[in-house]
Amino acid sequence: MRVGVIGLGIMGAPMARNLLRAGHDLTVYTRTRAKIDAFVADGARAADSPAAVARAVEAVITMLPDTPDVEAVVAGPDGVLAGAASGLLAIDMSTIAPAAARRLAVEAARRGVAFLDAPVSGGEQGAIAGTLSIMAGGDCAAFERATPLFAALGRQVTYMGGVGQGQMTKLVNQVVGAATLAAVAEGVVLAARAGLDPAAMVRAVGSGAAASWMLTEQAPRMQRRDFAPGFMVRLQQKDLRLALAAAGELGVPLPTTALVHQLFTAVEAHGGAALGTQALVMALEALARP
């Protein structure tokens, strides 16, 4: 397919490379020209605006940090919809507010554009390996059109229903993931205080009922003080704010999520907003100091 990717950050860049490797005709746009040039050197085409991307392709994928970024890129004066012809497929793979996804879908439909919200889970490693979990909402026919693109990006692709349901599923994912990460961080701090061998602890606990991706992948990073971002604290905080807001609208209490959000706020307060989410352990270590 002729596909455009807008946003070439930690997630967007490896996703775009996987589309290129799969044989799709790729057009890219991001605010940093050097990132665009790197893709052009590998065979992609460059565009000078989101509207220009839309004019050149059959499908556009956006992978951006937050709701206002997506709204500006999709519906802004020089955005995707401004350059879109009827029949374009717009796929937002960012994590944004479900209500915003629904608003964008309505605006897209007015211009004959099919809109999918298809956020992902799996972090930078999953984006590089093409093993992301993709949770999609929108028209079923649009989802079927996107299948060849999703095949290059993810291992588990799940259709969740109407527009906004992909984003709501992602928020559920973030609630479960954040709570699990906090439990892993507590275990790491307890194990360290007790003098347990770090690697042996992960092997033992990871072989039983407490096994999780967070334990096997993030506990060793916490133990060796590797806080390089696969997913940044500030982006996790954005996702938790979205989850808490959605839960408030639905009348659902999320006490554990609220606590984890506050622990991440402590990490941010000490300059850790750009660190990986495994830096959550630093807040618990601070609480454990005599």
Q: Could you confirm whether 170 is annotated as catalytic?
A: yes
Residues of the chain with pLDDT under 50: none
Helix (H) or strand (E) holding 26: strand 25-29
Domains of the chain: 2-161 (3.40.50.720), 168-288 (1.10.1040.10)
Helix ranges (DSSP H) in the chain: 12-21, 33-41, 50-56, 67-75, 80-83, 98-110, 123-129, 140-153, 165-194, 198-205, 213, 219-223, 233-250, 255-269, 280-288
Q: Strand 89-92 vs strand 154-161: parallel, antiparallel, or unpaired?
A: unpaired
pLDDT digits (tens, 9 = 90+) for 112-125: 999 999 999 999 99
CA 127, 144, 87: angle at the middle one, nearest 5?
Answer: 100
The pLDDT, as a whole number, for residue 290 is 86
Q: Residue 223 in 3-state DSSP?
A: helix
Q: Active-site residue among 17, 45, 102, 170?
A: 170
The contacts of residue 125 (CB under 8 Å, 6+ apart) are 131, 217, 230
> CA-CA distance, 220 to 16, in Å (whole number)?
29
CA 1, distance to chain mean position in Å, is 23
> CA-CA distance, 89 to 103, in Å (whole number)?
16
CA 176, 171, 150: angle at the middle one, nearest 5?
Answer: 105
The pLDDT, as a whole number, for residue 139 is 96
8 A C-beta contact, residue 96 and residue 73 = no
- Residue whose pair of structure tokens reads 């790197």 in the numeric block: 38
Report pTM.
0.94
